[in-house]
Amino acid sequence: MIVVLRADASQQQIDHIVDKAKELGLKAHISKGEERTIIGFIGPEDVVRKTPLEIFPGVETVIPVLAPYKLVSREFQRQSSVVSIKEGVSFGGKKIMVMAGPCSIESYEGLRKIAAEVKKAGATILRGGAFKPRTSPYDFQGLEEEGLKYLSEVGKEFGLTTISEVMDYKDLDLVSKYVDILQIGARNMQNFSLLKEIGKMKKPVMLKRGMSATIKEWLMSAEYILSNGNFSVILCERGIRTFETMTRNTLDINALIVAKEVSHLPVVVDPSHGTGQWKWVSKAAKAAVAAGCDGLMIEVHNEPENAFSDGPQSLLPVKFAKLMDDLNRVAEVVSREM
């Protein structure tokens, strides 16, 4: 349920409505716009329906939210959200953010070399995995805290924002200590214990779509985070599993378009996992920008043939630089900028 307040609604009237909702066991989420304040009420449907919110002083209208993802939906918030990370770095505005770096953090010097290249090419965020969820238990699992330290140090040296994956709620404080953005990987999209804990934090988080998840399931996972208080959520389409075998996954441009239509959250695209082959990454990235994405996550490595993970889908720095030049032209056509 959404309560739209009158333009002249006082803070006392807002507090009265929120206090009454809490007495009924409902959660209240306040969103203040330029002209109106709206309050979203979340809780048991029967309680929400029976509560006569329209009679409270200061209320202009009451709108039922039909979508199951209440706080994520554009019914709750019509204007697109902008998730600010730090000065000059935000998702959802005119500028398209680019996250680039190796799949796995392998060494300090290796990460530093890649960071220098992606920074020079125009990336604003350095990506790198310290905890690596792998299909095989025998594959490289990441440098863990040591890798996080490398990521933090290199990011500060080059003035790059940092992002890395957190796999377990027990590691939340550790990962948060070193990185600017938490990443929830595809395998953890429905790890609800983890989502709830992240929801209690104020750290920006990027939620990747599960490899077999529907758009609705993806948005419902985001709802877990928002319903626990964290609205700094970025969605990431990274390809889904289909019957196709010529690509690693099937990059779902439709999901980007639909998510932007039904949700106010910013949406980024990962063409590296979406295609699984470096030679297709650039074209997929350009398609994502043309379709309206708010950011890209691209794997870059100096020596893909020697990468500890995902070498086949990693761009060489020179190819990444060329892609950034191409993306500038595509972004201009759709009134965006890189």
pLDDT score of 63? 79
CB 28 within 8 A of CB 15: no
Q: Per-residue pLDDT tens for 226-259?
A: 988 899 999 999 999 999 999 999 999 999 999 9
With residue 192 as reference, give the H or E element that holds it. Answer: helix 192-199
What is the CA 195 to chain-centroid distance, rounded?
13
pLDDT in tens, 134-168: 677 767 778 999 999 999 999 999 999 999 999 99
Per-residue pLDDT at 62 exceeds 90: no
The pLDDT, as a whole number, for residue 32 is: 73
Q: How far is Cα of residue 212 from the mean position of the Cα atoms in its chain? A: 18
pLDDT digits (tens, 9 = 90+) for 178-189: 999 999 999 999
Burial of residue 169 (number of CB atoms within 10 Å: 0-12, 13-18, 19+): middle
Q: Hey, what domains does the chain have and what are their CATH numbers? A: 2-63 (3.30.70.1140), 83-333 (3.20.20.70)
- pTM to 2 decimals? 0.88
User: pLDDT at position 116, please?
Assistant: 98
State the amino acid at position 210 in one-letter form: G
Helix (H, G, I), strand (E, B) or coil at 56: coil
Q: Which helix (H) or strand (E) holds 329?
A: helix 317-333
CA-to-CA distance for 162 and 268, rounded, in angstroms? Answer: 16
Distance, C-alpha 266 to centroid of its chain? 7
pLDDT value of position 305: 96
Within 8 A by CB and 6+ apart from 283, the residues are none
What the block records as the tokens of 333 is 């056509």
Helix 278-291 and helix 317-333, axial crossing angle in degrees, nearest 10: 20
